[in-house]
Amino acid sequence: MKNKILIGTAGILAAFSIYSCKPKAPEDATTGDAASRVYVAPGKYDEFYNLVSGGFNGQLSVYGIPSGRLIKILPVFSVFPENGYGYSEETKPMLNTSHGFVPWDDLHHVAISTTKGEHDGRWVFANGNNTPRVARISLSSFRTEEILEIPNSGGNHSSPFITENTEYVIAGTRFSIPMGNKDVPISSYKENFKGSISFIKVDSSSGRMNIAFQLRTPGFNFDLSRAGKGPSHGWFFFSCYNTEQAYTLLEVNASQKDKDFIMAVNWKKAEEYIAQGKGTIEKANYAHNVYDDKKHSATSTILNEVKVLDITQFPDIVYFIPCPKSPHGTDVDPTGEYIVGSGKLAATMPVFSFTKIQNAIANKEFEGDFSGIPVIKYEAALHGEVKKPGLGPLHTEFDEKGNAYTSMFVSSEIVKWNVKTLEILDRVPTYYSIGHLSVPGGPTKKPHGKYVIAYNKITKDRYLPTGPELTQSAQLYDISGDKMQLLLDFPTTGEPHYAEAIPASLIQAKSLKIYKIEENEHPYAAKGEGQTKVERKGNEVHISMTAIRSHLTPDNIEGVNVGDDVFFHVTNIEQDWDVPHGFAVKGANNAEILIMPGETQTFKWKPLSSGVFPFYCTDFCSALHQEMSGYIRVSPAGSKTPLKFSTGKVENQESGAGK
């Protein structure tokens, strides 16, 4: 009998253990007053702008922090039918490349411009990972102003990280490829494949970008990078993987070495060589697209050469530092002294010292070379290792108090540690599988601190389900105290990779309200209804149209034939804040266009059948928005219908409207 009881008890205990070993439920994780700390009352503003990459949506989204509210999506590398980006004649050239019009890209990282290592709130740069490109977005118009294609790159992942005064934006290739689009066997990787890192010079007043020079490197993969700052200003640090030089099944074959490299580049030295006329000019085709906000139009120019420095010929530009297993993030702390390498497959996290790296170079403490480039001894460069930080360390951001925050993909947590003592101070779970993370001002010399935001790779059960395809998600944590506190979950668009947060005070007042109609230099602008017109040039019909609450001029157009190319150049002649007009034509194989006050945008339409087609304003603008419309008559091809246009003119008193 006793035994029975014993067995029964054991059974119950065992059953109980199934339930008791479940991890702590996420609901318990927020603190009691979290709601009030993220609540931004109606009519009030968020404290920070959060500029978040959209990953595979090719866009940049603007969130408010701490509320986590999505404020706007800015199209960068992808067409955006919502406002006509990539559909209007003016914006189509923005997406031109040496491969022609590429309507999509994978936007991974952002970099807000800095002066003296601190946020200046002028521009934000973004990378196109797939068809290598770098974009510059204005933080006053919040529009993509420039896109530069990167030649000799196999995927622009190690980008667009910037130097302290935004002297350069970096574009490091993810995949090595044969230079000059050469046709070679894939198996000739070691011989023919090269890496390239572009140093893109940024004009300090206009922001215009051009490739100053490219570093040609041995063939392997570049992952991420960060510029030095303060004492390490003049240096750039790149994480490298696949130093095994594998070209197939990288999952296995590029994970074999115990250590890959962090590549330290003395870019000031490279600049000197360039100034001395060193380096070679190589042929390369790449597009440079610039948006002019006076002409309200983009132009795309194909450039055809680039200056190259082969690092194997200039060995004092580059040094390799061994870093455990496939480093992902390489992050420089606000003082510029410490460089954190995050070996995503490694069990420890090395922190290198810039001073020690300099000493090791001076004393030639090398353990050998890789393709002729010196490899610094690991211990000689090492400040110390963070022991057992977590699993799958990816990225590190910093606060203003000397702490670092590292994202752990595999163990799905943020780990806080002290940069100097390397002591782990706190850890919090993320939901789920965090990729990048962001502390406001985290990559600058003067972090603003206060919050850390986790951008996750897996969302699962955090929101109401929406079928197999779910939203992506982010989490906001308060880091003002000793312990990190989860405050908020918020959904994100696309797939968030890196993001930066900047105090609203640095941007808000500069935000553009309208484009001045007086300054509109668009060749087809109708700056006033008196300038509206319809002109035929061969089989092109150009309509200069105005939009103002609540009519379009002209709103009756005749004389267009099937097969013509019809261009509606619509100028919004409003000069008031937040009065955009939209424009669309029935049956057009095109998206709408949105026209901001004072702006001209062009909608191209090739009518395929005859008839009378309505067009209308698509942005609800006023009480008489529904009336803001018109008709265009299309006659069969070859017809001689006279070209006519008008607004408010009633020809036929019998059948027409009005009296």
Partner 1 sequence: MKKLKPLSRLLIALSALILISAYFVPLWQIVMWAPQYPEGLTMKIWIDNITGDVNIISALNHYIGMRHIEVSMFPEFGYMIYIVGFVIGFGLLVSILNRRFMLIAYALLLMACGIGALVDFYLWGYDYGHNLDPTAAIIVPGMAYQPPVIGTKQLLNFTAFSGPDIGGWIFMVSAALAIGVLIVEIYLSRKKI
Partner 2 sequence: MKNLISLVILGLILVSCGPEKPKTEGESQEHPSGKDAVIENVDEGKGVGQVKEVTLNTPLEQERIPRGKAIYEMKCQACHRLDDQRVVGPGWKDVTKKRKPEWIMNMITNVDVMLDKDAEAQKLLELCLTRMPNQNVSLGDARDVLEFMRQNDGEK
Which residue, among 186, 95, 163, has the nearest Cα to 135 in the 3D structure? 95
- Which residue from 183, 623, 657, 658 is in contact with partner 2, where contact means CB under 8 A? 623
For 536, the 3-state DSSP assignment is: strand
Burial of 310 (0-12, 13-18, 19+ CB in 10 A): middle
Cβ–Cβ under 8 Å, residues 437 and 389:
no
Give the separation between CA 324 and CA 75, rounded to whole angstroms: 37
Q: What's the Cα-to-Cα distance from 210 to each of 149, 307, 439, 501, rounded to whole Å?
A: 10, 11, 30, 26
Other C-beta atoms within 10 Å of 488: how many? 21
Q: Which is nearer to partner 1, 303 or 391 (CB)?
A: 391
- Which residue from 431, 498, 568, 605 is in contact with partner 1, where contact means CB under 8 A? 431
114-143 residues in contact with partner 2 (CB under 8 A) are: none
Residue with tokens 């640095």: 506
- Which residue from 59, 114, 297, 430 is in contact with partner 1, where contact means CB under 8 A? 430
- Which residue from 574, 596, 616, 630 is in contact with partner 2, where contact means CB under 8 A? 574
- Which residue from 483, 516, 536, 649 is in contact with partner 2, where contact means CB under 8 A? 516
Q: Tell me the one-letter amino acid at 428.
A: V
Q: Which stretch binds partner 1 (CB under 8 A): 112-120, 175-183, 454-462, 497-505?
A: 454-462
Q: Which tokens belong to 361? A: 């170079």
Establish if 576 lies at the interface with partner 2 (CB under 8 A). Answer: yes
Establish if 26 lies at the interface with partner 1 (CB under 8 A). Answer: yes
Establish if 341 lies at the interface with partner 1 (CB under 8 A). Answer: no
Establish if 4 lies at the interface with partner 1 (CB under 8 A). Answer: yes
Establish if 468 lies at the interface with partner 1 (CB under 8 A). Answer: no
Which residue, among 44, 64, 27, has the nearest Cα to 476 in the 3D structure? 64
By a kind-dependent CB cut-off of 5 to 8 A, residue 412 interacts, out of partner 1, partner 2, none, with partner 1
Q: Which is nearer to partner 2, 122 or 522 (CB)?
A: 522
HSE (side-chain half, CA atoms, 13 Å) at 21: 6
335-364 residues in contact with partner 2 (CB under 8 A) are: none
Give every CB contact of residue 180 below 8 A, 6+ residues apart in sequence.
152, 282, 283, 284
Kindly report the length of the chain: 659
- What's the CA angle centered on 489, arms 488 and 494, to 5 degrees? 140
By a kind-dependent CB cut-off of 5 to 8 A, residue 255 interacts, out of partner 1, partner 2, none, with partner 1
H or E stretch at 9: helix 2-20
By a kind-dependent CB cut-off of 5 to 8 A, residue 528 interacts, out of partner 1, partner 2, none, with partner 2
H or E stretch at 145: strand 144-149
Q: Which stretch binds partner 1 (CB under 8 A): 21-29, 56-64, 86-94, 123-131?
A: 21-29
Q: Which is nearer to partner 1, 435 or 554 (CB)?
A: 435
Q: Which of the 8 DSSP states describes residue 34?
A: H
Q: Is beta strand 629-635 parallel, antiparallel or unpaired with respect to 107-115? A: unpaired
301-330 residues in contact with partner 1 (CB under 8 A) are: 325
| φ, ψ for residue 387, nearest 5 deg | -85, 135
What is the distance between the terminal CA atoms of the chain, rounded to a whole angstrom? 106
Q: How far is the CB of 17 from partner 1 (least distance, A)?
A: 6
Find the radius of gyration of the CA atoms of the chain.
29
Q: How far is the CB of 110 from partner 1 (least distance, A)?
A: 25
Establish if 461 lies at the interface with partner 1 (CB under 8 A). Answer: yes
Establish if 412 lies at the interface with partner 1 (CB under 8 A). Answer: yes
Establish if 173 lies at the interface with partner 1 (CB under 8 A). Answer: no
Count interface residues toward partner 1 (CB under 8 A). Answer: 32
By a kind-dependent CB cut-off of 5 to 8 A, residue 272 interacts, out of partner 2, partner 1, none, with none
Q: Which tokens belong to 19? A: 């339930």
Q: Tell me the one-letter amino acid at 635.
A: S
534-563 residues in contact with partner 2 (CB under 8 A) are: 546, 548-551, 553
Which residue, among 404, 370, 337, has the nearest Cα to 240 in the 3D structure? 370
- Per-residue b or e along 536-571, where b marks 16 or more CB atoms closer than 10 Å to that residue's CB: eeeeebbbbbbbbebbbbbbbbbbbbbebebbbbbb
Establish if 21 lies at the interface with partner 1 (CB under 8 A). Answer: yes
- Which residue from 148, 246, 318, 517 is in contact with partner 2, where contact means CB under 8 A? 517
Q: Tell me the one-letter amino acid at 273.
A: Y
Q: How far is the CB of 624 from partner 2 (least distance, A)?
A: 6
Q: Which stretch binds partner 2 (CB under 8 A): 29-37, 312-320, 498-506, 568-576?
A: 568-576
By a kind-dependent CB cut-off of 5 to 8 A, residue 529 interacts, out of partner 2, partner 1, none, with partner 2
Give the separation between CA 362 and CA 222, rounded to whole angstroms: 26
- Which residue from 251, 518, 651, 654 is in contact with partner 2, where contact means CB under 8 A? 518
Q: Which stretch binds partner 2 (CB under 8 A): 244-252, 309-317, 413-421, 621-629?
A: 621-629
Establish if 579 lies at the interface with partner 2 (CB under 8 A). Answer: yes
Q: How far is the CB of 646 from partner 2 (least distance, A)?
A: 13
Q: Which tokens belong to 147? A: 């896109």
- Which residue from 29, 34, 391, 424 is in contact with partner 1, where contact means CB under 8 A? 391
Give the separation between CA 54 and CA 68, rounded to whole angstroms: 15
233-272 residues in contact with partner 1 (CB under 8 A) are: 251-252, 255-256
Q: Where do contacts with partner 2 occur on this chain (CB under 8 A)?
A: 514, 516-518, 527-531, 546, 548-551, 553, 573-576, 579, 622-624, 648
Which residues form the interface with partner 1 (CB under 8 A)? 3-4, 7, 11, 14, 17-18, 21-23, 25-26, 251-252, 255-256, 325, 345, 347, 391, 410-413, 429-433, 458, 460-461
